[in-house]
Amino acid sequence: MAPKEEASSAANETPKKMATLQLQQQQQQQQQQQAKTHIPTCNYSKRVVLKTLLSREDRGVGLVGERIVIGGWVKSSKEVRKQPPLPQPDTLPQPGPKTGEKDVTCTEILQNRMPIFRTFLKLFGVGNHAEKDSLGGLAHRVQHPVFSTVFLQISDGSCISSLQVVVESTLAPPGQILLNGTCILVEGIIQPPSTGGKHSIEVKAEKVLHLGVVEDHEKYPLSKKRLPLHTLRDWAHFRPRTTTIASITRIRHALTQATHNFFQNNGFLYVQVPVITTTDSEGFNNKFNVTTLLNKTKSEEEPTKGSSRNEVISGVSLASIKASLKEKSHQVEELKRTDSNREALLAAIQDLKKTNELASQLEAKEKKEKAKTTSAMVKPDRLDFTDDFFSCQAFLTVSGRLHLESYACALGNVYSFGPRFKAQTSHSTRHVSEMWMAEAEMAFSELEEAMSCATDLLKHLCKWVLENCTEDMKFVLKRVDQSIVGRLQSVVSTNFEKIPYCKAIDILKQVREKKFELNVEWGVPLTEEHESYLADEIYKKPVIIYDYPKEVKPFYVRQNDDGKTVAAFDVIVPKVGAVIRGSQNEERVKVLRTRIKELGLSSEQYEWYLDLRRNGTAKHAGFSLTFDLIVLLATGISDIRDVIPFPRSYGKISN
């Protein structure tokens, strides 16, 4: 090709390349713009959750200029008032009257020249409209509105971080939105922070879509800063709005997911066990009775000769009758002193006598009803349960493992997750009356397999929290427990120490530097103090204790060949204590029946349980993980009542 033709061809290709390059750039810009403007909203509402904005790598900076709807509760606030512009010298009012203006009155002159006179006028509500201007003269009577900007730090519970929302006083009264706890939903524009500080972005409100005001700020418990956790328990319905409880709740949610994730990934089927049962699941626990008998009252009697009198008694309180007695007695005393009206005195005495009789009858009736109620509540064993809702005595379940066995003997490996109830009069920081348990039962498994599964589950939960709750764990590390991350990492990476019960007793007996409240002897149950000392001081890592005396474990645990111990185990973790208790269960029907008789349990209660041994039994093992204690382990909180949404403990129930 000739040089001229090559140059011509190159000249023609250059515009094509430029056009192609421009097209590619436009496509990239469009893609970037689409990616920028696509902000996911919360399912089933139009708002954007804070986590969507603040969990991005750029902390939302790439979304500046976008319009969103955001909502939450005010954590803190600040109001900045805007100063009105100073008047220019040429616009200042000149002395002397002008057309359309009134002369300065004598009162105004006195207010301007004699401040004390102005004070007196204010006290009497006169002349409050007259104010001094910035130059010391009298201002016009027209009141100019004071504008301000309110900076709100709001949280919607989706993450630790809060978002700054800027609201002008023309959109909402500052007095309503400044208070902590106020709920606000706004539509606005994302912009760079106008006040600097830690925030990467803020939202400039253009519309206030909803405002939930705090009616009485003095009575709102969270109006005070940094309330201790034990104080917050009295307001369980408000405490999720605090940063600490919100963080604990998100960690608890993650642990719930992790629990189901572990069992699902290891071939377990989820089974819901009953909350109400007729079976004493362990054989020696205090249980909550479930009954409707205490609510039943006698049917109304047929009208009798004195029915009208009874209606009068039932319609009047004893307190009002006693007050009337006092008044009538005083009236009789007054009539006796004057002795001027004999008939009036006799009538007053007769009225006092009748009122006294009425009070005696009402007092006797109240005492009788109180005695009946007290008798029924204190001695429920005397109730006839054939008239009860279930026609028999029923309890809130202590453990779901017995019911899980029936499904394990048909389906293999099963698990359950739900509340369990123990009516123990305990003030321990590691026990409440209603606790959540993750329980597993495995067919064809023995003690070693159960211990291995329990260990894997515990490691999985700790690892899950470290990997999926990064922001919340940073908060816990800073505000609650500085050693929490290291402790969780130790559980994940360390081999658990395994010792039999007899060795644990020998070790504790040799301790000289500490005096235990309960003496250590073979055959006694290990207390929280004993367990914690082994894990915290002796081994400084998780410990598995196994082969307990049969007297300290439930009736269904498999007896060992020595006839003294049973195939049970406990997993003890530093700072928390026993988080998992498990066992291999007794599959021999004769041994199980003997054990039921030894404990004096009702054989009729356990006939269905014995049926599992009579018909196609298999060796099986399982365990119960106290889920609330795992939350303690993951958060470093010291009291179990602070990691449960609505705790129920001895002598205390909230909400």
Token pair of 108 as six digits: 């105004």
Residue 84 reports pLDDT greater than 80: no
Residue 362 gets which letter from DSSP? H
CB 485 within 8 A of CB 477: yes
pLDDT single digits (tens) 305-322: 444 444 444 455 667 777
Residue 479 confidence (pLDDT): 93
Residue 647 gets which letter from DSSP? -
- Strands 202-212 and 276-277, by their bridges, are unpaired
186: amino acid identity, one letter: V
Average confidence (pLDDT) over 397-412: 95
CATH number of 37-81+146-223: 2.40.50.140
Q: What's the mean pLDDT when you consider all of the chain?
A: 83
Token pair of 279 as six digits: 């079976």
Q: Determine whether 553 is exposed, middle or buried from the number of CB atoms within 10 Å of its CB (0-12, 13-18, 19+).
A: buried
- Enumerate the β-bridge partners of residue 289: 395
Residue 378 confidence (pLDDT): 41
pLDDT band at 304, cuts 50/70/90?
Answer: very low
Residue 3 reports pLDDT greater than 70: no
Q: Which fold has domain 245-289+393-653?
A: BirA Bifunctional Protein; domain 2 (3.30.930)
pLDDT band at 16, cuts 50/70/90?
Answer: low
Among 250-254, 278-282, 469-473, the least confident range: 278-282
Residue 362 confidence (pLDDT): 77
Residue 199 confidence (pLDDT): 87
* CA distance readout (Å), 453 to 26, 395, 450, 624: 57, 30, 5, 11
Residue 96 reports pLDDT greater than 80: no
At residue 386, the 3 state secondary structure works out as helix
Token pair of 568 as six digits: 């049970």
Residues 511 and 504: their CA atoms lie apart, in Å, by: 11
For the sheet with 577-585, list strands across it: 269-270, 413-421, 434-443, 620-626, 577-585, 565-573, 543-549, 497-500
**Tokens 């365990």 identify what position?**
623
Residues 482 and 591: their CA atoms lie apart, in Å, by: 50
pLDDT single digits (tens) 444-467: 999 999 999 999 999 999 999 999
Average confidence (pLDDT) over 228-246: 92
pLDDT single digits (tens) 469-501: 999 999 999 999 999 999 999 999 999 999 999
Residue 305 confidence (pLDDT): 44
**Tokens 């209660």 identify what position?**
605
Residue 655 confidence (pLDDT): 76
- Per domain, the residue ranges of the chain are 37-81+146-223, 245-289+393-653, 320-382
pLDDT single digits (tens) 570-618: 999 999 999 999 999 999 999 999 999 998 888 888 999 999 999 999 9
Residue 4 confidence (pLDDT): 53
CB-CB neighbours of 514 under 10 Å: 9
Residue 560 confidence (pLDDT): 96
For 249, residues 6+ apart whose C-beta sits below 8 A from its C-beta are 240, 645
459: amino acid identity, one letter: K
Average confidence (pLDDT) over 526-533: 95
CB 56 within 8 A of CB 190: no
